[in-house]
Each structure stands twice: as structure tokens, then as C-alpha cells.
Structure 1
Amino acid sequence: MTVDRATRVLRKVFFTAVALVSLFLGGVVCLMCQVLAGRDAPTYRVEGHVTAHERGALPVGGNEDAVSHSIAVDAGGRQYRVTAVDSGLDLPPGQPVTLDVSTADGGIAYLHAGGGVVDLRSGVVRPVLLIIASLLALGAVYFGAVRLNVYPPVATWLALTLGAMLAPVAVFVRV
């Protein structure tokens, strides 16, 4: 095998690897954008009452004394189950509650009971950190691919532009 042929084979293998890594990192960015969009999606209200309440030990962050609360809510024939480490969920059976249900995934965003509100949405720190790390890794992959002359610079910018245009479409089509 000549050096020229080995170089062509190596470029094809590296090109495929760059494409697969780019696809994976772009998928992570889209998924985390979807998580953030679902977190702040519109909600609708459902009224119901607590049908069951359970307490359990749930070690969180090294705290062995943390107590989780699980409640079951009957809201007009539909059953919801909520589990969280929050004293606001320490509700007796029969307590009237109002749930704010997400239109994106059907999860419960807020629980209103007796004048108090419990926020049950997931946090934003992990998705934002994953988006930043994936974009930095994607930039490093493309920079390395251009430096090794696997992709011409025009193709790299075209791929980045196409990815930037398709990511929001993929996220909001699901929502």
C-alpha cells in the first residue's frame, strides 16, 4: 500500500469518525434543548384530591435523614403520582390539590395545595452544562478536522449552519 493510498483510507476513516461524533454531539445538544423547552412548556390546570401518601427514606447528597414523599392524586378519573424530597408534599389523603400539567410531556410542573406551591420541574444547570460542553467538543472536532484537511473549511461552516438551523426545528416539532 502506498503512502498516498494509506492517506486516502485514513481520511475516509477519519471523515466517518468526525461525522459520527458530530452527529452524537449534535444529538446531545438537541436533546438538552428539548429538555429545557419541555421544562418551560405551557401548562394546564387539573383539580383533584390526594388519595394516598407514603413517606420513605431517600439518601440525597450524603444526607441520610432526607425523607421523600410520594402522593397519588385523583384528578377527574385520571391518576397522577408525584414523588419528591419536599416537605410541601406532606399532604393527608383527601386534601384538595391543583396540578399544573405540562403540555409537552404530561409531567406535573407545579402542585398547589393549601396556599403553597411546590415546583416539581427539573433543574436547568445540567442541561445547560451539557449544551456548553457538547458545543465546545463539536467546535474542537471541526477545528481538528479542518486542521487535518479532512473537511474543507466551506463544508465545515455549511455543516455548522445546517445544524444550527435544524436543531430548533427538531426540538419544537416534538413540543
Structure 2
Amino acid sequence: MTVGRFTQVLRKVFFTAVALVSLFLGGVVCLMCQVLAGRDAPTYRTEGHVVSHERGALPVGGDGGEVSHTIAVDAGNRRYRVTALDPGLDLPVGLPVALDVSRADGSIAYLHAGGAVIDLRAGVVRPVLLICAALLALGAVYFGAVRLHVYPPVATWLALALGALLAPVAVFVRV
């Protein structure tokens, strides 16, 4: 294999690697944006009552001192199960409650019991940090690809466009 042929093969492999890294990092950004959008999706309210309550240790991690509460709520046509560390979830069986259920994914956003409101939504810190890290890594990949002159900047931007177009597909197909 000649040096010229080797360089061509190296460029094709590098172009494919940049496109795949773009796909992965773009997928991370799209998935975290989807998580953030689902967190604040519109909700509907359903009412029911607590039919069971269990206390237990965390199934994974923790320092052993935290107690999780799991309740089951009968809302007439559907039964919901909620597990959280919040001590406000320590509810007696038979207590009437109202649930704000996400229209996006069916998860429970808020639980209303008596005068208390318990926020059961996922936090925003991890998705935002992952979005920032993925965008920084994507910038580093493209800076490195153009800086190393492995192939022209047009090809780099073509790889970026390919990754950006394929990333939402990968997210929604859950590859």
C-alpha cells in the first residue's frame, strides 16, 4: 500500500469516526433536551386514594440511612405506583390524594395529599451538565479535525450535519 492510498483510507476512517462521534454526542444532547422537555410537559389531574404503603431501604446505592417510601394509588381506571425518598410520601392507607400525571410520558409529576404538594419530577442538573459536556466534546472533535488537517473543513461540517440529522432518529428509536 502506498502512502497516498494509506492517507485516503485514513481520511475515510477518520471521517466515519467523526460522523459516529457526532451521532453519539448529538444523540446525548437530543436525549437530554427530551428529558428536560418531558419534565415540564403539561399534566392532567386524577384523583384516587392510597391502597398500599411500604417502607424500605434504597434498592441501589445510598448510605443505608435513607428510607424509601412506595405507595400504590387507585385512581379508578388505573393504579399508580410511586417510590421516592421524600418523607412526605409517608401516607396512610385510605388517604385521598390527587396526582398530576404528565401528558408526555404518563409519569407522575406532583402528588397532592391534604395540603402538601410533593414534586416527583426528575432534577435538571444532570441533563444540563450532560448537554454542556456533549457540546464541549463536539466542539473539541471538530476543532481537532480541522486543526489536524486530516480533511477539509467542508467535510468536517458535512460530518456534523450527518450526526445532527441522525441523532434525533437514534434518540427516538432508542438505539
TM-score band by shorter chain is: 0.7 to 0.9
Task: Tell me how far apart the structure 1 counterparts of residues 133 and 92 of structure 2 sit (CA, whole Å).
Answer: 44
Aligned counterparts of 2:23 and 2:161: Cα–Cα separation in 1: 14
CA distance in 2, matches of 1:156, 1:2: 25
Secondary structure of residue in 2 paired with 1:91: coil
Partner of 1:76: 76
Q: Do the aligned partners of 1:36 and 1:124 also contact (CA within 8 Å) in 2?
A: yes
User: Paired residue for 1:53?
Assistant: 53
> Using the alignment, how far apart are the partners of 2:15 and 2:166 within structure 1?
21
Contact 1:33 1:171 in 2 (8 A): no
**Greater relative contact order structure (CA < 8 Å, 6+ sep):** 2
What number of residue pairs does the alignment pair up? 172
User: Equivalent pairs: percent with the same residue?
Assistant: 84
Q: CA deviation at 1:92?
A: 0.7
Q: Structure 2 CA distance, aligned partners of 1:103 and 1:170?
A: 23
- Would the aligned equivalents of 1:59 and 1:66 in 2 still touch at CA under 8 Å? no
Question: Residue 64 of structure 1: SS of its match in structure 2?
Answer: coil
Alignment check: 8 A CA contact 1:35 1:127 kept: yes
> Which residue identity is paired with 1:11?
R
Residue 115 of structure 1 is matched in structure 2 by: 115
Match of 1:144 in 2: 144
Structure 1: unaligned runs, 5 residues or longer: none
Give RMSD over aligned pairs.
Answer: 2.6
Q: Could you tell me how far apart the structure 2 residues matched to 1:11 and 1:162 are?
A: 16
- SS class of match (1:92): coil
**Structure 2: tracts of 5 or more residues without a match:** none
List structure 1 runs of 4+ shifted beyond 6 angstroms. Answer: 161-172
Tell me the equivalent position of 1:102.
102
Residue 16 (structure 1) aligned with residue 48 (structure 2)? no
Deviations 1:30-60 (A, max 9, x none): 0000000000111110011000000112288
User: Aligned letter for 1:104?
Assistant: A
Secondary structure at 2:99 match in 1: strand
Shift of 1:168: 8.4
In the alignment, the residues of structure 1 paired with residue 121 and residue 40 of structure 2 have an alpha-carbon distance, to the nearest angstrom, of 9
Cα distance in 2, alignment partners of residues 112 and 91 from structure 1: 11
Residues 105 and 18 (structure 1 numbering): CA distance in 2 closer, same or farther, change over 3 Å? Answer: same
Question: Contact 1:30–1:170 at 8 Å: present in 2 too?
Answer: no
Letter in 1 for 2:43: T
Q: Distance in 1 between matches of 2:76 and 2:163?
A: 43
Aligned twin of 1:6: 6
AA partner of residue 81 (structure 2): R
User: Which secondary structure does the structure 2 equivalent of 1:65 belong to?
Assistant: coil
Compute the displacement of 1:86 (Å).
Answer: 0.8
